[in-house]
Structure 1
Amino acid sequence: MLVSFVICFVTEVVSNMATLSIFGAIIAATAQLKGFDPVQMLLVVCFSASFAFMLPMAGGPNMIVYSTGKISVPTMARFGLALNIVAILLGSLYMGLVMPLALGSYADLPAPVS
């Protein structure tokens, strides 16, 4: 959940692709060293980078909504924060309960060849 939280809020001010490029490599390497499934952790990074709802610069749809002039940045931030929290909680549940069933166990995979 911490990874999801950090990436979600970094994506508010940095593009999704930049966030994925930076955090993807770090998280995958760390997961492998710690014995976690790197594919599952990379999916956490990918999903969490899409949980940006607070600011106009967080994504194209946010900018389109803001450009109408009918919604202010503080209003977007207030409602976006609530959406971010809900997305992080639901995403964490999904990533913890559904993804392991869909992907199988990391322990069943053969060891990487050096």
Structure 2
Amino acid sequence: MGNPENIEDAYVAVIRPKNTASLNSREYRAKSYEILLHEVPIEGQKKKRKKVLLETKLQGNSEITQGILDYVVETTKPISPANQGIRGKRVVLMKKFPLDGEKMGREASLFIVPSVVKGG
């Protein structure tokens, strides 16, 4: 029943505190957090890789929050301790923006997924 018109591009920024001390602070400091980036090969260059945000497609009529949380867990299994994946706390829609290049005329959404401290 998947209507291609209902499929939306989504970028997911998983943010986590670098250490537990930053969780106790009442003020936000950007240096205390990191954004998880996924390494992908650069086309035409064998050994070079670039870091990008997680990217997925969303089915318009599905449960978006749970879908994104499940996607984050599955995608981060290879880089997390004991292959358990990174568990997000919630999903926050930050903004929708127009795409360019071959996807011009379509919109994508940027979601933020806060998670726990690295190694936790």
TM-score bracket, normalised by the shorter chain, equals under 0.3
TM-score (norm 2): 0.27
Which structure is higher in RCO with an 8 Å CA cutoff and minimum separation 6? 2
Q: Which has the higher strand share?
A: 2
* TM-score when normalising by structure 1: 0.27
Greater helix share, 1 or 2? Answer: 1
